[in-house]
Amino acid sequence: MIRKFLSLVGVFLVIGCGASKKRNVDTAQRTISVSPSEVSVAPTKEEAKVVEAKSVTTPNKSRDIIGTALTFSGTRYKFGGTSSKGMDCSGLLYVSFGEHNIDIPRASYEIAKEGEEISLKEVAEGDLLFFGTSNRKKNINHVGLVVSVDGNDIKFIHSTTSRGVIVSSLREGYWNSAFVKATRIL
């Protein structure tokens, strides 16, 4: 029984939020750049200034939720986690939205059913990005919160199995190829 449980946990960790397996994907169908960019565990002072400057036009609720999410930068990954001791991608959003009295589902594929689907050209701070990181690419199993938009460089905060809570760019090849859709809840 314990062996089955440990095997099941192992499977979830491999296919969970932000699996780090690389794969070859035909990017000809993509409409945004796939050039890599630097990723930091915590936002740099420059990134924080960009988020702060951009937030002048962001509704207060979105700015507050982004601020809450950024406080978890560097938190380690923990499947099902919802605290500073460890959290997964949907746990990060569940807590960040919840602290501002907005209830969202706990699983990324359920969150994807909420709100209004939008195109990447419409994405703004506070919107959600959904990814398929397993072999079944269209099955949503990862989510991130947009923290800044600068032209076609969309930065989002999320929790990965390998690096915990970080800010990444949708321009990175891995996240660009795993992207499924964007939604707006606020």
pLDDT tens figures, 99-139: 999 999 999 999 999 999 999 999 999 999 999 998 877 89
Predicted pLDDT at 11: 39
Model confidence over 134-168: pLDDT tens digits? 887 789 999 999 999 999 899 999 999 999 999 99
Predicted pLDDT at 36: 37
Sheet strand arrangement including 116-118: 116-118, 179-184, 128-131, 142-150, 153-160, 164-169
Predicted pLDDT at 43: 57
Start-to-end Cα distance in the chain: 44
For the chain, give every domain's residue range: 31-184
CATH topology of domain 31-184: endopeptidase fold (from Nostoc punctiforme) (3.90.1720)
Give the mean pLDDT of the chain: 79
Predicted pLDDT at 37: 38
Q: Which residues are catalytic?
A: 89, 142, 158
Amino acid letter, residue 41 = V
More confident residue, 16 or 71: 71
